[in-house]
Amino acid sequence: MTTPLMMKAALLIEYGKPLEISDVPRPVPKADEVLVKIEASGVCFTDVHILKGEHASPNPLPLIMGHEGVGRVVEVGSKGGALKVGDRVGIGYVFGACGHCRDCLTGGENYCPDFDATGFSVSGCFAEYVCMRKEWANRIPEGISPIEAAPLMCAGAAAYASHKKTGVQTGETLAIFGLGGLGQYAIQIAKLAGVRVIAVDINDEKLATARALGADEVVVADKNAGAAIQALGGVQGCVNFAPVSSTWPLMLAACNPRATIVLTAVPADQLAFYTYEVVERGLKVIGSSASNRQEMNELLALAAGGNVKGVINTMPFEKINDALSSLVEGRTEGRTVLDLQ
């Protein structure tokens, strides 16, 4: 019997406990998959939800988490299509979808009832190698390094998809709540679209970073934030990247008539409102999760032109538990990327 090739991977053995770096068998690609040698892997707050068991995997542990991977194709399955060994690709949260339901056929493949999630229901990118379905391989354009590209696979793509859902047009105003990695990407994306941006956070350093990234106005996220935004003219759209419920009444107060609120972060508690707050002003509230492949390609095209840059902290793979702890404790500025090169 042939001895399997091995690789290092960070395993979630028990919810709420640090990951264990172990040697495990290297995966073998199926016919419609490719094997990717990971060069860089981003760390996302969704990983924290999984780690804590708040978003528990449908499968028994252990689990290899991670869904912001970038690397080179090293093996192609028998139905690998146009991909070839040596191609640099990115791996995002959506591992694959059914391809034939209403959602898949109308640009909502990331909402397919049967989609598999990388690092959640299938093995992810906190490892030296990962398999991915060829249809979901995001080709990384020249000019973007693996470290820069990794957070685009989830944070950047989620920010881009969220901005599109706001429907805010050139010359209109968007309030961005939560100025971590997603908020920082969203500022740049909105400014490229000619949108006036009001950046909102409780952290003075993050507000200063938002200014440097192009935000037109900054507002402290205290109980008066809604009134402060109205004093600046109010907004046609809000997007929430802060995983807390305290932003909800602030967004309701900030909105002008017929504005759109997009919810991307996932607070643990319930949100409440009086119906008239939404009805009398004709507000829309939309959820946004991940992105579809077209949105990912559009974002990568912007990034290839040097127009979307992340605030990135690079760490060695062996420091993965430190990276997760920093996220849990709110110490992370921008995005953290694990370097596996």
- Which domains are assigned to the chain? 6-154+291-339 (3.90.180.10), 157-287 (3.40.50.720)
Q: Are 234 and 173 in contact (CB under 8 A)?
A: yes
How far apart are the C-alpha atoms of 45 and 334, rounded to whole Å? 11
Q: Are 106 and 54 in contact (CB under 8 A)?
A: no
pLDDT tens digit string along 167-185?
A: 999 999 999 999 999 999 9
- What predicted TM-score, i.e. pTM, was given to this entire model? 0.93
Place of tokens 């109980």: 223
Neighbours of 295 (CB within 10 A): 20
80: pLDDT confidence band, cut at 50, 70 and 90?
A: low
pLDDT tens digit string along 193-233?
A: 999 999 999 999 999 999 999 999 999 999 999 999 999 99
Q: Note the pLDDT of residue 329.
A: 83
Q: Note the pLDDT of residue 102.
A: 96
Q: Are 34 and 75 in contact (CB under 8 A)?
A: yes
Q: Tell me what the mean pLDDT of segment 107-134 comes to.
A: 94
Classify residue 220 by its DSSP letter: E
How far apart are the C-alpha atoms of 195 and 171, rounded to whole Å? 5
Q: Could you tell me the two tokens for 69?
A: 């991977």
% pLDDT > 90, the chain:
85
Q: Identify the bridge partners of residue 75 per DSSP, sorted by sequence position.
A: 35
Q: Identify the bridge partners of residue 176 per DSSP, sorted by sequence position.
A: 199, 239
180 in helix, strand or coil?
A: coil
* Nearest residue to 12 via CA among 51, 56, 55, 57: 51
All residues at 6 or more sequence positions from 41 whose CB lies less than 8 Å from its CB, including other chains: 66, 68, 69, 70, 125, 126, 150, 317, 337, 338, 340
Place of tokens 């000619």: 194
The letter for the amino acid at 144 is I
Q: What is the dihedral of CA 61, 67, 72, 76, to 10 degrees?
A: 60
pLDDT tens digit string along 29-67?
A: 999 999 999 999 999 989 999 999 988 899 999 999 999
Q: Note the pLDDT of residue 1.
A: 59
